[in-house]
Amino acid sequence: MNFKHKYVFLFPGLFVLIGILIFPIVFTVRLSLSGWNSYNPELNFIGLDNYVRLFTEDPRFWEAFFRLTFLSVTTVILQYIIGFALALMVWRDIKFKRFFRVMFLIPMMTTPVIMTVIWRTFFHESLGPVNDLLSVFGVAPKWLTDPALAKITVIIVEVWQWTPFMFLLLLAGLLSLPKEPFLAAAIDGAGPIRKFVYVTFPLMAPISIGAIIIRLIEASKIMDTVFVLTSGGPGTSTETSTFYIFIRGLREFQMGYAATLSFTYLIIMIISLTIIAKVLTKLMIKD
């Protein structure tokens, strides 16, 4: 094939993307070396002061980062287990198969912030249905204002919202599996559990890794839910990295420092996601 044609296909997309992104990325790096804030909105040069501040006197960022790690890892593990279970159940013979499949997909089609507004009324301490039903047992948990419970509420909403995505990826994977290994296992007289451990799960390993990584990437951006549900509160108990950057950058207008946080965060994310992908591949694919 003629050599030049391939560039005609690739370059429009590539250059549009680079064209849109080049300014924000270069600007973020430059901004992170400046002291741009609301009193002093200019691109002065203060060297690495912002980075020194981040690494020596800002435990709040690191706390937010660990909170983010905790929240996203927990939600993704829950989503994987539930999503895989749901996918296995509607994979083959079940009554109303297509009805259930549609039902399981619906939450991911809904706008997270809008549904979170509904969840907020759902978990309302005195006027929400959850506490109304729980009042039978004489308890009234503070779903949104108790530091520990608020995290659980965020996890519940995230699991509701995004398990469908995991379900979709895993079900699509299950449906594309070859039939032969299952026939062979059936001939060998393997029961459902052995079949899952020795056939389904290993065959699904590459798809599982892909799905988990995609979900981890998306989950690390968790923002909408926290923003509406708790606004990072009570205190900072549900504040994640992205939300902290938002507060510094667009509430307090410390643009320079927020850019430092953004850039550091991006580097950490890229490195850790690469490591996670490598480790998962090693763990789940034995040979």
Residues 19-48 that bind another protein (CB under 8 A): 20-21, 23-25, 27-28, 31
Contact yes or no for 257/248 (Cβ under 8 A): yes
3-state secondary structure of 158: helix
Q: Running DSSP on this structure, what letter comes out for residue 38? A: S
Comparison of 1 and 148: residue with beta carbon closer to another protein: 1
Query: CA–CA separation, 198 vs 185, rounded Å?
Result: 9
Query: Which of 4, 282 has the CB closer to another protein?
Result: 4
The answer to whether 6 contacts another protein (rule: CB under 8 A) is: yes
Stretch of 59-67, 73-81, 117-125, 137-145 lying at the interface with another protein (CB under 8 A): 117-125
Among 1, 136, 139, 148, binds another protein (CB under 8 A): 1
Instruction: For residue 110, state whether it binds another protein (rule: CB under 8 A).
Output: yes
Among 73, 78, 105, 205, binds another protein (CB under 8 A): 105
Site string for another protein, 201-240 (x = CB under 8 A): ------x--x---x--xx-xx-xx--xx------------
Number of residues that bind another protein (CB under 8 A): 92
Q: Which of 153, 208, 237, 242 binds another protein (CB under 8 A)?
A: 242
Q: How far is the CB of 237 from another protein (least distance, A)?
A: 19
Stretch that binds another protein, among 17-25, 51-59, 72-80, 278-286 (CB under 8 A): 17-25
Residue type at 117 in one-letter notation: V
| C-alpha to C-alpha distance for 107 and 26, rounded to whole angstroms | 37
Rounded Cα distance, 121 and 228, in Å: 11
Counting contacts by CB under 8 A, is residue 56 touching another protein? no
Q: Cα 250 from chain centroid? A: 22
Among residue numbers 68 through 97, which ones bind another protein (CB under 8 A)? 82, 85-86, 89-90, 94
DSSP-derived letter for residue 136 is G
Pinpoint the alpha helices (H) of the chain.
5-32, 49-57, 59-89, 97-109, 112-122, 129-134, 147-175, 180-187, 192-195, 201-219, 224-229, 241-246, 255-284
Is 118 a residue that touches another protein (CB under 8 A)? yes
Comparing CA positions, the residue from 283, 243, 258, 270 lying closest to residue 31 is 258
